[in-house]
Amino acid sequence: MARERGTKQIASNRKAFHDYTILERFEAGVELFGTEVKSIRAGTINLKDSYCTIKDGELFARGFHISPYEKGNIFNRDPLRPKRLLMHKREINKLYARIKQDGLTLVPLSVYLKDSFVKVEIGLAKGKKLYDKRDAAAAKDSQREMSRKIKEYNQ
C-alpha cells in the first residue's frame, strides 16, 4: 500500500496568533495511539488552550484535545492526556534554554499530515499585552479598509 504524499492541514490554533507574538516555528512529530490517529484524520481535534512543556528533557503538549474515536471502544485514550512531541534532543535543549532565559513559551500552532505522519507546528512565542492586541486589530482593520478602497477604485 502506497503512502500518501504532501501535506494536509487538520487544525490550527488561531487564538495563539491573537494572544502571542510568534518568534520562531518548529516541526515536531507526535507520539499517538491508533484510535487517536483515526480521530485526527476525522478532524476532531482542538488546540485552543494547548501549550507545551519540557520535563526531564522531553517535550509534551498539554491541553491538546483529541476527541475519542467513535468506533474505538476500549482502545480510546483520555482526550486530554499529555502527548509527547518528538524532536531531536539538541533542539529540545535549545528550546529549554530559550524558555528559561528569555521567559518565552511554546505553543502548538497547527496540526497537519505530512506524508501520512501527524506533525505539529510549535511556535516559540512571547505573550502580547492588551495594547499590542489593540494595535494588531487596528492594523488589520486599516489593511482591510485599504484593500476595499483599492478594489472599489479599480472597478
Q: In this structure, is the dihedral angle defined by the CA atoms of residues 119, 121, 122 and 124, taken in order, positive or negative?
A: positive
Write down the pTM of the prediction: 0.78
Q: C-alpha cell of 137?
A: 486589530
**Which residues neighbour 86 within 8 Å (Cβ) at sequence distance 6 or greater?**
28, 29, 30, 31, 59
- Candidates 99, 82, 76; CA nearest to 30 is 82
Per-residue pLDDT of the chain (155 residues; tens, 9 = 90+): 556 677 888 889 888 888 888 999 999 999 988 788 888 888 888 888 898 999 998 999 998 888 887 776 776 777 788 889 999 999 999 999 999 888 899 999 999 989 888 899 999 998 888 877 888 888 889 999 999 988 888 87
Q: What is the CA radius of gyration of the chain?
A: 19
CB 133 within 8 A of CB 36: no
Q: Which domains does the chain have, with CATH numbers?
A: 7-128 (2.40.280.10)
